[in-house]
Structure 1
Amino acid sequence: MTEDQDHYFTADPSVPFERETFTASVWGHDLELTSGAGVFSRGHLDHATAVLFREVEPPVAGRFLDLGCGYGVIGLAIATAVPLSSVIGLEVNERAILLANENAAGLGVGGHFVACRAADVPSDMQFDEIWSNPPIRIGKEALHELLLTWLPRLAPGGRAVMVVGKNLGADSLQRWLGEQGYPTTRLASAKGFRVLEARRG
């Protein structure tokens, strides 16, 4: 893990840091979001997540997991566009958790979005859908472990929607997911990214 990557996993919210606010237009809603130093995609919507939003319609009511939520953009977009949703944003970076919950309060969706660490998610909770721009750069082994921890938490018939760079192994990940018992199709391919949908039977 590089020093920069380590920074993303250990950013301490008690240490003063510079916040940066920007607006992301998603599914007809303008989301004013605060990012910050030590958090992925500071000050802008990253290209992969932009492709995800452009290529996939918002989901319908249900319980959602934003896996690796950062400062919350995917989960907050769902919470804003889908009033009858309950969204958990899962994250290891404490500063990102702080920012995601601040953003939820600012957008008025704090009642049905919360960002937290894995240990704070009830062990028996299932999700209708998992959405993610997964942290590919943690390495294949760690990524596989992460997905095999959370994909089994999908409710029967549930799905996971993920955006992955083609040059970061999207096609091999699609095959691997199928081999693990999660049939995976490609919903879209744009600007060097694949949008994958993995289903639980």
Structure 2
Amino acid sequence: MTRVRSESGAINILNVIIMLVLLIALGFAFELSAALDQQNAQTNDCSAARDATMASQNLLVAKNSDDPGLAIATAAVKSLRANGFNGEVEVWFYEAPSSAIPQSKRAWAWGIQTKSSLKGYFATYSLGDFNIPIGSHVTAHAVPYTAGKAWRPADSGNGKYSFKAGSDTPEYEEYTSTKELPQEVIDEMKTAVNQATNNK
């Protein structure tokens, strides 16, 4: 009889362990679903921000601005904040040099990156303090033109604009070469330059 009790106790402990594993697995699945929902929402917000930066009124402001990079970054963040995204935002901007395109045109490329996180309560229970990182990004380009020689500011604001969570004021890091840009923005820059030079 002692042996039967021992086996029964072992089975009960095993059942408890299995239940705990199942609960943790269900918790992970729930948090993964919540993270995917947040990811999808963030992707939609990024797409809306890209559309906002490409809206004619915002492109016109950037075209006539002494700092088109800041104008594009501001339009992107304004859209994101209006849609309820309060996480971190990074905007990369680059304007092609005048020597690369016809004098009547300008060529811009930019990228928008959003960053946030979701508190992983079940992951924290299993692994310690844990946040699920969530991010999304989009890119775009534009080729503003004029009938004569295009006006250009002394400094286009090439570089990265970093906005902290909840902030509308960026920290600026100047870039002097496309090599410092993310590859997706470099690809957009190549597309913009090709568009400007092939449609003279």
TM-score, with length taken from structure 2: 0.24
By percentage of residues, which structure has more helix? 2
Q: Which has the higher strand share?
A: 1
Flag the structure with more relative contact order, 1 or 2, with Cα contacts below 8 A and sequence separation at least 6. Answer: 2
Q: Which entry has the higher C-alpha Rg, 1 or 2?
A: 2
Instruction: Compute the TM-score of the two structures, normalised by the length of structure 1.
Output: 0.24
